A and B are shown apart, each in its own frame.
Chain A
Amino acid sequence: MNILEFTLLVWIGSVIAGLLGSLTGLGGGVVLVPLLTIFFKVDIRYAIGASLVSVIATSSGAAAAYVKEGFSNIRIGMFLEIATTMGALLGAFLATKVPTSAMAIIFGVMLLYSAFLARKPRARPPANEVPDPLATRLRLNGSFPTPEGIRRYNVRNVPTGFSLMFGAGTLSGLLGIGSGAVKVVAMDQAMKIPFKVSSTTSNFMIGVTAAASAGVYLNRGYIDPGLSMPVMLGVLAGSVLGTRILMKADTKLLRLVFSVVILLLGLEMIYKGLAGRI
């Protein structure tokens, strides 16, 4: 395969990854690394570097649209970014030490978990909790517009949420994914933040988290321009397309199909990792 063919095929694969990622809300990063390593035989470190760059592109692109709608909470985002960026730095340093076969196994487990989350119905956080003193002190409580008027919410369990975010950041730095799934779980389940706010705030945070590890990757020579070019442009095109058609698509069936794909890719990554072929 020459570079021209390789670039074109990787671009097409990335468009599909970006499209599915944005339609299902799971992000393109989770399928991108397995796609590159399993089908294109790319070394996992190059794959993670390229994936990180594309994660920043989609997060920033989507956040540009979300911030204007008034759902995301910039204080929650900034406060938790202290945890995610520190975690991301740790993850990026770990990535330079951990053998690639172990990275493939961790990645596979993460995929299985994402597939499980995609199938699990979302628990609705209660409408009005008693204010948590720490959250009040940190000015995390907020409000967002709904058709019935402004809805206020109170944030809970700040220390747990903060620790989970550190873990999400580490995973993001180690595996080159946005780990939006973990971020949303931390905010929904632990901190009881309404889904609209948690999903948009998570998107807002993903770019900053990925930037924290991307710097380390760049300095360590893991970001190859020949690979990141088609990946970034493809994922970006796919996710822009995805947000355009989101309203018309049947996302329920799509989520089912996508979670099966993620499950299979996860098993394949674990197998390859165990067999030492990555």
Chain B
Amino acid sequence: MPVQKQWTDQKIENIVGNLLRAGVLLSAVVVVFGGVLYLIQYGHAPADYRIFRGEPTDLKSLTGIVRDAFGLHSRGIIQLGSLLLIATPVARVAFSIFGFAEEKDRMYVAFTIIVLLILLYSLIGSASGV
């Protein structure tokens, strides 16, 4: 196996490792912040998850979540944290495209693009009920 390839693999894996760690850390910080706010605001209200109602529209769409979070609504902030967490593996996959491209591995660039499209469809496309 050529030395060049081994070295690039190692470099990519280091960046991927750091990316994942940063994503998890960032989302945890956002969730803690939103969580504290949420408990201060609603801590004494009764908890009830027995009946499934589904979330309100603004906590289901990307734009709604971002709008809520920046309006400092506690539930919106937590949801933004969850969204960042979901986006972390997506970012990892997106980054891998560049990694494989750098190794001139066309087959794996194609495979990775397929995975990325499936992920993006889930996050964005599935909202419209397609």
Contacts of A79 in B (CB 8 A): 108, 111
A241 to chain B, nearest CB (A): 14
Bound complex: CA A88 to CA B82 (Å): 18
Q: Which of A7, A64, A92 contacts B24 (CB 8 A)?
A: A64
Contacts of B39 in A (CB 8 A): 3-4, 7
Per-residue CB contact flags for chain B residues 98-130 toward chain A (1 = under 8 Å, else 0) read 010000010110011011001101111011000
Bound complex: CA A178 to CA B113 (Å): 22
Inter-chain contact B31/A229, CB cutoff 8 Å: yes
Inter-chain contact A236/B50, CB cutoff 8 Å: no
Contacts of B127 in A (CB 8 A): 219
Inter-chain contact A211/B17, CB cutoff 8 Å: no
Assuming the A-B contacts A229-B38, A232-B85, are A216 and B122 also in contact, with contact meaning beta carbons closer than 8 angstroms in the complex? yes
Assuming the A-B contacts A70-B13, A218-B60, are A57 and B24 also in contact, with contact meaning beta carbons closer than 8 angstroms in the complex? yes
Please report which residues of chain A, range 195-230, place their CB below 8 angstroms from some CB of chain B when the two chains form the complex. 207-208, 210-216, 218-230
User: Is A97 part of the binding interface, using a Cβ–Cβ cutoff of 8 Å?
Assistant: no
* Contact-residue bracket for chain B: 35 or more
Q: Which of B51, B54, B82, B85 contacts A60 (CB 8 A)?
A: B85
User: Is A74 part of the binding interface, using a Cβ–Cβ cutoff of 8 Å?
Assistant: yes
Please report which residues of chain B, range 64-93, place their CB below 8 angstroms from some CB of chain A when the two chains form the complex. 74-76, 78-79, 81-83, 85-90, 92-93
Task: Please report the number of residue pairs spanning A and B whose Cβ atoms sit closer than 8 angstroms.
Answer: 211
Inter-chain contact B31/A232, CB cutoff 8 Å: yes
Inter-chain contact B24/A78, CB cutoff 8 Å: no
User: Is B7 part of the binding interface, using a Cβ–Cβ cutoff of 8 Å?
Assistant: no
B36 to chain A, nearest CB (A): 10
Chain A interface mostly helix, strand, loop or mixed?
Answer: helix
Inter-chain contact B16/A1, CB cutoff 8 Å: no
Bound complex: CA A88 to CA B27 (Å): 23
Contacts of A233 in B (CB 8 A): 28, 31-32, 35
Inter-chain contact B115/A208, CB cutoff 8 Å: yes
Contacts of A40 in B (CB 8 A): 49
Bound complex: CA A86 to CA B24 (Å): 24
Assuming the A-B contacts A218-B86, A219-B60, are A65 and B17 also in contact, with contact meaning beta carbons closer than 8 angstroms in the complex? yes
Q: Which of A63, A208, A223 contacts B119 (CB 8 A)?
A: A208
Inter-chain contact A3/B44, CB cutoff 8 Å: yes
The residue in B12, B89, B108 that gathers the most chain A C-beta atoms within 10 A of its C-beta is: B89
Per-residue CB contact flags for chain A residues 7-42 toward chain B (1 = under 8 Å, else 0) read 100000000000000000000000000001000111
A100 to chain B, nearest CB (A): 8
Inter-chain contact B122/A228, CB cutoff 8 Å: no
Please, could you name 21 A-B residue pairs with CB atoms under 8 Å apart, sorted by A?
Answer: A3-B42, A41-B49, A42-B50, A43-B52, A57-B28, A64-B21, A67-B16, A68-B13, A78-B96, A82-B118, A85-B118, A88-B122, A89-B126, A208-B93, A215-B119, A215-B123, A215-B124, A220-B126, A221-B54, A225-B82, A226-B42
**Chain B contact residues, CB within 8 Å of chain A:** 9-10, 12-14, 16-18, 20-21, 23-24, 27-28, 31-32, 34-35, 38-39, 42-47, 49-52, 54-56, 59-61, 74-76, 78-79, 81-83, 85-90, 92-93, 96, 99, 105, 107-108, 111-112, 114-115, 118-119, 121-124, 126-127
